[in-house]
């Protein structure tokens, strides 16, 4: 997929969010689940779970009743959770197939709290082509940028009078909200 095509796809998905300016990252997470539900034509439940030793941070599972559960790492940062959920949304938008495999004993040891179906889906997911993961991550990054306004944060940089090393540090941190500015 070309950068232009990815941009057009991103615009189409972001257009579905219809959220007011200044919406919190937590609210954007909730809305991501709603957008997934609209796109899949089925109920989508978001579950934030501890995935401390698991080799993944999110997974989407289709239930027997046709609904979906999106497992997302329980992070203290709603911004981080949003990035994970957008990655899962990107897999849906890009029509990536979730494979199931019967052997998931290793995954069960890493994430014993996941239900059996989730373990099978995630085990299959780990076999996905690296290209699919890269493609989903690129689209998720683009959606995250557009939803959170990364590209419009230059005003947060120090003035031109600041020393070069202060500006360099600030430029590296510009995408991370200040403690009091967390949404």
Under-70 pLDDT residues of the chain:
98-129, 150-160, 167, 170-183
On whether the pTM is more than 0.85, the answer is no
Domain spans of the chain? 3-152, 153-183
120-137: pLDDT as tens digits: 555 444 444 688 899 999
Complete DSSP assignment for the chain: --HHHHHHHHHHHHTTT---TT--HHHHHHHHHHHHHHHHTS-EEEEEE--TT-S-SEEEEE-TTS-EEEEEE--S-HHHHHHHHHHHHHHHHTT------S--HHHHHH-TTS-HHHHHHHHHHTTS-HHHHHHHHHHHHHHHHHHHTGGG-GGGSPPTTS-HHHHHHHHHHTTS--GGG--
Q: Write down the mean pLDDT value for the chain.
A: 77
């Amino acid at each position: 997929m070309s950068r232009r095509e990815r941009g057009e796809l991103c615009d189409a998905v972001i257009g579905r969010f219809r959220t007011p300016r200044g919406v919190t990252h937590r609210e954007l997470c909730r809305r991501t689940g709603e957008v997934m539900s609209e796109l899949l034509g089925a109920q989508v439940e978001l579950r934030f779970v501890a995935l401390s030793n698991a080799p993944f941070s999110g997974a989407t599972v289709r239930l027997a009743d046709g609904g979906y559960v999106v497992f997302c790492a329980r992070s203290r940062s709603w911004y981080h959770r949003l990035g994970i959920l957008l990655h899962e949304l990107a897999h849906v938008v890009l029509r990536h197939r979730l494979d199931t495999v019967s052997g998931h004993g290793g995954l069960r040891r890493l994430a014993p709290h996941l239900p059996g179906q989730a373990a099978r889906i995630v085990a299959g997911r780990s076999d996905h082509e690296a290209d699919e993961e890269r493609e989903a991550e690129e689209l998720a990054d683009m959606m995250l940028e557009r939803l959170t306004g990364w590209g419009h944060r230059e005003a947060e940089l120090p003035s031109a009078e600041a020393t070069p090393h202060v500006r360099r540090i600030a430029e590296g941190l510009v995408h991370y909200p200040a403690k009091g500015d967390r949404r």
